[in-house]
């Protein structure tokens, strides 16, 4: 596997290009993947890097991207609706960069995954969606669900969620995934938080487990889901 940094152009009031990185497998065997970070992070978050590495190890080129507000150095993200068009533009740019125009697997961390799902609901073609900690609701506000667009998400979805994630009540997720019209897979990390980190108190070994270590252990989950996407 090789990793190369690049710039992807887009039309946005904040920036005209964003930083990205492509993980190319030694031998490509599946569709490319586009991953965007959470609202307050960037493309170099440990968990996001590890997720791109796992996809590449399984034969899928993976592109990590900043969203415009990250590139502009803003901590506060715009409303998710405002990031849908830039995400779709970055998909177009990544397709040109890799020379692959067929359906990609889309997704990302928290806000990035939500934005990807909204793009798909608005018609962006995709083979599937992968959510690394979907932000089902704001912490402490389970009545403010972010699922209105789900009935229009017509692709298979994989949710990888922390058991202790304050952004995702597990019982609410279990009941609302029925709104997704295609096959849905939910993998829950025992003791994991919003980034899948497991603190010392929740770790079976009594030692904290990092997000990158958890993600690195997901090959079986990812491979089974990827196989399920095949016609």
Q: Which CATH class is domain 2-229?
A: alpha beta
Per-domain residue ranges for the chain? 2-229
Tokens representing 93 are 């740019």
Give the CA radius of gyration of the chain: 16
**pLDDT score, position 102:** 85
Tens of pLDDT along 47-66?
999 999 999 999 999 999 99
Burial label for 77, CB within 10 Å (0-12, 13-18, 19+), is buried
pLDDT at 220 (0 to 100) = 96
Task: Decide: helix, strand or coil at residue 52.
Answer: helix
Q: What are the residue ranges of helices labelled H in 33-110? A: 46-57, 68-71, 80-98
- 191 conformational bin, left if phi > 0, alpha if psi -120 to 50, beta if neither: left
Q: What is the mean pLDDT of each run of 10 residues along the chain (231 residues)?
A: 95 93 95 97 97 97 97 92 96 95 94 98 97 98 97 97 97 96 96 96 92 96 94 69
Model's pTM, two decimal places?
Answer: 0.96
Beta-strand runs (E) in the chain:
2-9, 17-24, 33-36, 62-65, 105-109, 128-132, 157-162, 184-189
The structure tokens listed for 13 are 């009031």
């Amino acid at each position: 596997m090789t990793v190369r940094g690049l710039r992807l152009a887009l039309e946005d009031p904040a920036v005209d290009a964003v930083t990205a990185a492509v993980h190319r497998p030694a031998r490509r065997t599946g569709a490319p993947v586009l991953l965007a970070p959470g609202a307050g992070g960037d493309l170099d978050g440990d968990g996001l890097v590890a997720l791109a590495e796992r996809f590449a190890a399984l034969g899928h080129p993976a592109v990590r991207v900043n969203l415009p507000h990250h590139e502009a150095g803003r901590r506060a993200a715009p409303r998710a609706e405002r990031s849908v068009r830039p995400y779709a533009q970055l998909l177009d740019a990544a397709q040109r960069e890799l020379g692959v125009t067929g359906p990609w697997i889309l997704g990302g961390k928290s806000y990035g995954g939500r934005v990807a799902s909204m793009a798909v609901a608005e018609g962006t073609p995709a083979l599937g969606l992968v959510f690394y900690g979907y932000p089902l609701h704001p912490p402490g506000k389970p009545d403010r669900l972010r699922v209105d667009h789900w009935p229009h998400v017509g692709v298979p979805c994989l949710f990888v969620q922390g058991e202790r994630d304050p952004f995702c009540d597990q019982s609410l997720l279990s009941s609302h995934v029925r709104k997704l019209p295609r096959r849905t897979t939910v993998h829950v990390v025992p003791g994991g938080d919003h980034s899948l980190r497991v603190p010392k108190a929740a770790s079976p070994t009594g030692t904290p487990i990092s997000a990158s270590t958890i993600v690195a252990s997901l090959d079986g989950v990812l491979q089974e889901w990827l196989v399920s996407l095949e016609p």
